[in-house]
Amino acid sequence: MIMLGDENNNDLVNLDAIDRAKCALLVIDELGDPTGGPLEAVLLPSILQTAKLTTAARAAGVPVIFTNDAHLPGIDRELALWGAHGIAGTPEAQTSPLLDPQPTDYVVEKRRYSGFFQTGLLLLLNELGVDTLICCGMDTNICVKHTVADAYFNNFNIIVVDDATATFLVGNQEEGIEYMKVCYAAKVINTDEAVKFIEG
């Protein structure tokens, strides 16, 4: 029996058994450029690590999918909790330019925490033949966690790249990562390991 916190939880996804042709890189809410802003120290390292992942994925032919907030002011409940952010049609709802978005990348707009909730993400993944998601982004304890939860509920293998995620709104990074490992069978690796895996 697997107990809470058992290190064996990180072995439920076997990287050697995964078909890289069925993987996608899922980048969650890495929006805008935090350089010079109040959260630069928290957000910029995650984005720079993610840039290594997007570069490797494109070179290897692994689909790159961005799930981006696209909130509707006066309608979306989330704005009452966190204030105005990621408003549809504004620069802050666009993929970070530090990730050098390409025409071959996919963008899925979302109005809730999860990239799956009432979006076209699941349809896209099915059409691409994806069964494994390499996940990164922010906030670890909110949009990343809820997206990973729905990925698990939809039977995807999950890899979380811990140093390409960031926590800045609620909870702490370590607990968020541990939760996804224990509750959603996420394989937790770092960026260097993820790049090596993507490159095969």
Domains of the chain: 7-199 (3.40.50.850)
pLDDT band at 80 (very low <50, low <70, confident <90, very high): confident
| Host H or E run for residue 68 | strand 64-69
| Host H or E run for residue 132 | strand 132-138
Q: Token digits for 99?
A: 């990730």
The span from the CA of 145 to the CA of 150, in Å, is 9
pTM: 0.91
pLDDT band at 60 (very low <50, low <70, confident <90, very high): very high
The span from the CA of 56 to the CA of 24, in Å, is 12
pLDDT band at 84 (very low <50, low <70, confident <90, very high): confident
Cβ proximity of 152 and 184 under 8 Å: yes
Bridge partners, 159 (sequence order): 134, 187
Kindly tell me if the per-residue pLDDT of 5 is higher than 70. no
pLDDT band at 125 (very low <50, low <70, confident <90, very high): very high
Task: Check residue 74 and give its pLDDT.
Answer: 84
